[in-house]
A and B are shown apart, each in its own frame.
Chain A
Amino acid sequence: MQEFLLQASWWIPCYGLIGAVLTLPWLTGYIRRTGPRPAAYINLVMTVVALIHGAIAFQASLHLDPQPIVLHWFKAADLDLSFMIDISPVSLGAAELVTGMSILAQIFALGYMEKDWGLARFFALMGFFEGAMSGLALSDSLFLSYALLEILTLSTYLLVGFWYAQPLVVTAARDAFLTKRVGDVLLLMGVVALATIAGTLNFPDLYEWAETATLSPTVSTLLGLALIAGPTGKCAQFPLHLWLDEAMEGPNPASILRNSVVVGCGAYILIKLQPILILSPVASIAIVVLGTMTAIGASLVALAQIDIKRTLSHSTSAYLGLVFISIGMQWTNFALLLLFAHAIAKALQFMSVGSIIITSSTQDITEMGGLWSRMPATTTAYVVGSAGLVGLLPLGGFWALREGVNAFWYDNPWLVAVLLLVNLLTAVNLTRVFRLVFLGSPHAKTRRAPEVGWAMAVPMVSLIVLTLLVPAMLQHLYLLPDWAYLNQTAVLLLALSGLIGCVIGASIRLTRVWSRPIQAPLKFLQDLLAYDFYVEQLYRVSVVWGVNVLSKASAWFDRYVVDGIVNFVGLASILSGESLKYSISGQSQIYVLTILLGISLLGILLIYPMW
C-alpha cells in the first residue's frame, strides 16, 4: 500500500486540479440552489486527500527506495518530451508543506471570504494554485517545471485580480502577470537553449551533463542569466520585484500562500537549477548581487510602508533575497531551511494580518491600535510569527539564519553582515508594526474589534503551534547543529542583531496620525522608501515609455505608410480611370487624333535609337 502510494505520488498535484474542475458547476452558476459553499468543501476534501496521500508517501520515502517515475508525454521527430517525477523526502516534504499551507489557507478563507459572492471561483483558483505548486515541488524536469511556473503565473493573475471590479486590483493583476512574464520569457529562452545544448531537460540528466560540459564563457553567462530570470520574477527580486507589493490587493487567503509558498516555488526551481548555474560564475555572482540588493532594499522599504500587507510583503522579498544569496553561494541547505522556516512564519503573520483586516476593515496601520486585549489569538499569532521569522528566539528563523551565518562565517564575512543587517531591519519593522497595531490606545476602527470566528481562528492557532514546533521538527530531521560544535560568537551576534532591532523598533518615535517629518532630508528619505526607491516611476519613464513609443510608431507606420501606399494605389487607379472617362466624347475625329498621336509616339520611340 505504502509502496503503491509512493509510486503514485504524481497524483498529489492532480487532487487540487480535480477539486478545481469539480467546482465548475458552482463557478459557472449552473448550480445556484446550494450557494457556493459545497464547492469550497469539495476543494477542502481534495486538499485533505492530497495531504494524507502526501503524508503516507513522505513516510514511505524515508525508508523505501523509490523508482524514478517518467511520464512520456510527446515524442515526435527528434523531440522526446518526458516528464520525470522526483520522489525523495525533500520533494515530498515540499509538496506536503504546500498542501498543508493550502489547507490552512482554505479553512481560513472559509471565514475570510464568507460573504463573498465569488467563493466558488476563489476555491477553484486555490485548488489550481495548489496543484501547480505541489507539482512544482515534485517535478524533476525543467520543462515540466517551466510549464507549472506558467500555470502559477496565470493563477496569480487570476487570484490577484479576484475582485476585478476595483481599478487598483486590475492594474495589480496586470502588473503581476506582465512582470512574471518578463521573467518567464527569459527563462523559456534558457530552457530552449539548454534543451538544444544539453539535449535533455530532465534534471538528473542535466546534472550529469553539467559535470562534463564545456561551454564558451558567453554562452554559459547568457544561459545562466536567462535561467535565473524566471525565479527572479517569481521570488519578487530586484528588478522584477514590484508585483508582490501590488499583489497585496488580492484576497488575503491567497496572499498567505503567495508570501509563504509561491515565492518559495521560484527559489525551489533555482535550487534545482543550481548545479547548472555553477557553469556560469557571472550568473552566480548575479544571484548574490540581486539577492543582496533586494534583501537590504526591501527591508528598508518595508520600514516606510503604512499598509500592513505591503510592509510584510516587502519583508518577504527581503527574505527571498537571502535565499538567493545562499543559492548563489551554493549553500542550498541553508536556502531550503530558510524557505521552510520563512514559509511557516510568514503564513502565520499573514493569517494574523487577515484577521486584523477583516475585523477593522482597514489595512492602514496608522489607523489601528490597542488590539492586543481585544484580539488575543491574533496578537499571539503575530508575535509568534514574528519570533519565528527574526533571529532572536530559538525558533525556525533563528536556526535558519544561524545556518547562514555559520556558512558564510569564514569565507564571506560581508555576507554575514548582510544577514545580520536584514535581521536587524526586519526586527525593527516588525516591532514598529506591532506597536502601531496592537499597543497604544484604540482608534475608531479598532475600538469594537472582536476576535475572529473559529473558521479563521482554528487555522491560525494550529499554525501558531506549528511555528513553535519548527525547532522540534528540525531536531527530528537532524537539521539542528550539535551543541558542541555551535559557533557561539555567531549565535550571539545573530541574537544581538535581533535584540538591537527590537530595541530600536520599540524606542523610535511613532506618530500615529500620518504626519510628515519637518526636516527635509528625513522627508526625502521617507518618500524614497515609501515609494520603493521610485523604481516604478523609473520603469514608467524607461521601459514602459519605450515600448509605448515603439508600438505607437509601428502602428503609425502601419496606418499611414504601409496602408497609405495601398490606399494610394487604389486612389490613383480610381482617379486615372475617372479622369480618362472624360475622353469618351463620341466624336470620331478625336479618336482618330488619339490613335494618330499614339502611333506617332510609338514611331518616335522606335526610331529614336537610330539617331
Chain B
Amino acid sequence: MLSALIWLPILGVLLVGLLPRSVPPKTARVTTLIVLGLAFIWSVVLGSQFDVVNPDAQFQEVLPWIERLGLTYRLGLDGLSLPLVILNSLLTWFAVYSTEESIQRPRLYYILVLMLNAGVAGAFLAENLLLFFLFYEVELIPLYFLIAIWGGAQRGYAATKFLIYTALSSILILMAFLGAVWLGGGTSFEYDTIHTQGLPLVAQIILLGILLVGFGIKIPLVPFHTWLPDAHVEASTPISVLLAGVLLKLGTYGLLRFGLGLFPEAWAVLAPGLATWAVVSVLYGALTAIAQTDMKKMVAYSSIGHMGYILLAAAAATPLSILATVFQMVSHGLISALLFLLVGVVYQKPKPAISPSCGGY
C-alpha cells in the first residue's frame, strides 16, 4: 500500500519520459498532475484508514534487500509521518499546477519533480535507517537540477551551495547512523531494533550532536542556514514552494525521529541548549528578515525563524509539544508555500521585486 506513494511517481517518471517527442508539452503536464493527484488521493485514503489510537507504525511492508548490510526495504506510517506524507503530495501537486505552461524543457522538469516527490515520500515512509538515508540522498539530485537549470541569474552558485551543504548534512547523518548501530554492536538498521541506551552517555551525546548538525543544516538552523536564502532567491516559484513546504520538513522529521527517538537520554541532557539554540534561530531569522529588501529573501529568513519554533517545541519533548511540532510543520508547510506563491505573483508583475517599492500591490 505504502509503496504506491513512492512507485506511482516513479511510474509517472517513466510515462513522461517515454512520451514521444511529437506530443505537446501540455500532455506531460497533465500526466504529471494526474499522477500526483492519484498519489495525493492515495495518501488521503491511507490517512482515512489510519488507526489514530495505535501508536505503532502501520501498513508495514517488508522486503529483504541487502541483508548482510542490515538494509531492508521496510516502510511504515505513523502519526508523525502521515501528515507530512499528505503535505508532500498536496504541495507537489500545487507546485506543478503553479508552474508556467511555457516552461523550458518541460519533460525533464516534470520528471525531476516526480522524482523529488518519490524521494521525499520514501524518506518519510522508510522504517530502516539506511533506506531513509538512501531516499534522503535521492531527493537531493532532482532538487539540485531543478535549481540549477530553471533558476535565476545566480542559479549555479545557489545550487552548488545547496548541494555542498546538504551533502555535508548527509555525511554527518550517515556517520551518526552507523555509529548508533555499530557502536552498540547491532547489525540491523531497523528503527525498532536499535538500542542506544547501552552506549555511554558521552557517546550518545556525540552521536546526537553529529545528528543535530546534520539535520540542522537541512532545517536550517542558524548558523548553518545561508544556503537557504540563496536557494530560495534563485529557485523558481514552484521549487521554492517545494523547498520551503516539504524539503525543510525532512530536517525536523529526522530530528524528531532519530534525534529524539534514538537518543532520548542525550536529548534530555542537551534540551536546555537546544531550546536556547532554537530561540536564537527564531530571533535571528526574524530580525534578519526585517532588513531584507528582496521579498523572497524576506520569506526565506522568516521561514528560518519559523522552523526554529519546531526545535523549541521538540526540546521540551512533552507529548503536547511533540504534537505541536507536527502542527507547526504542517502549518509552516502550507504558509510558506502560500507565501512563495504570492511572491511569485508579485515577481511576475513588471515592477522590480524589491519590497519597499511594492507599495501599490
Contact = CB atoms under 8 A, between A and B. Distances in A.
Contacts of B164: 570
Given A558-B226, A562-B226, A566-B226, A551 B287 contact: yes
A555 B226 contact: no
A562 B304 CA distance: 15
Interface stretch (B146-154, B315-323, B338-346): B315-323
A77 B319 CA distance: 6
A164 to B, nearest CB: 8
A77 B325 CA distance: 13
The A interface, classified by DSSP as helix, strand, loop or mixed, is: helix
Interface residues of B, number: 19
A167 B288 contact: no
A563 B223 CA distance: 9
A76 interface: yes
A138 to B, nearest CB: 27
Contacts of B291: 548, 551-552, 554-555
A1 interface: no
B226 A78 contact: no
Contact of B288 (A170, A547, A555, A566): A555
A187 B218 CA distance: 34
A31 interface: no
A607 interface: no
- Which of B223, B288, B290 has the largest number of chain A CB atoms within 10 A? B288
Interface SS majority for chain B: helix
Contacts of A552: 291
Given A551-B290, A552-B291, A554-B288, A79 B320 contact: yes
A558 B323 CA distance: 32
B64 interface: no
A165 interface: yes
B277 interface: no
B361 to A, nearest CB: 8
B357 to A, nearest CB: 12
A554 B289 CA distance: 9
B292 interface: yes
A550 interface: yes
Contacts of B320: 76-79
B7 interface: no
Given A78-B320, A547-B290, A554-B284, A170 B359 contact: yes
Nearest to B284: A554
B287 A78 contact: no
Nearest to B320: A77
Interface in B266-292: 284, 287-292
Contacts of B223: 562
A28 to B, nearest CB: 15
Interface in A68-83: 76-79
Contacts of B323: 76-77
B360 A77 contact: no
Interface string B203-229: 000000000000000000011011000
Most buried by A among B290, B318, B320: B290
Contact of B287 (A165, A550, A562): A550
Contacts of B360: 164-165
A398 B290 CA distance: 48
Contacts of A563: 226
Interface in A538-564: 547-548, 550-552, 554-555, 558, 562-563
B232 to A, nearest CB: 14
Nearest to B222: A562
Nearest to A167: B359
A444 to B, nearest CB: 32
A552 to B, nearest CB: 5
Interface in B161-202: 161, 164
Contacts of B318: 77
Interface in B6-35: none
A560 to B, nearest CB: 11
A477 B176 CA distance: 73
Nearest to A562: B223
B288 A558 contact: yes
Contacts of B287: 550-551, 554-555
B19 to A, nearest CB: 35
Contacts of B292: 555
B286 to A, nearest CB: 9
Interface string B223-244: 1011000000000000000000
Contacts of B289: 551
Interface string B288-309: 1111100000000000000000
Contacts of A167: 359
Contacts of A548: 290-291
A170 B223 CA distance: 35
Interface of A: 76-79, 164-165, 167, 170, 547-548, 550-552, 554-555, 558, 562-563, 566, 570
Given A76-B320, A554-B287, 14 more contacts: A78-B320, A547-B290, A548-B290, A551-B287, A551-B290, A552-B291, A554-B288, A555-B287, A555-B288, A555-B292, A562-B223, A566-B161, A566-B226, A570-B161
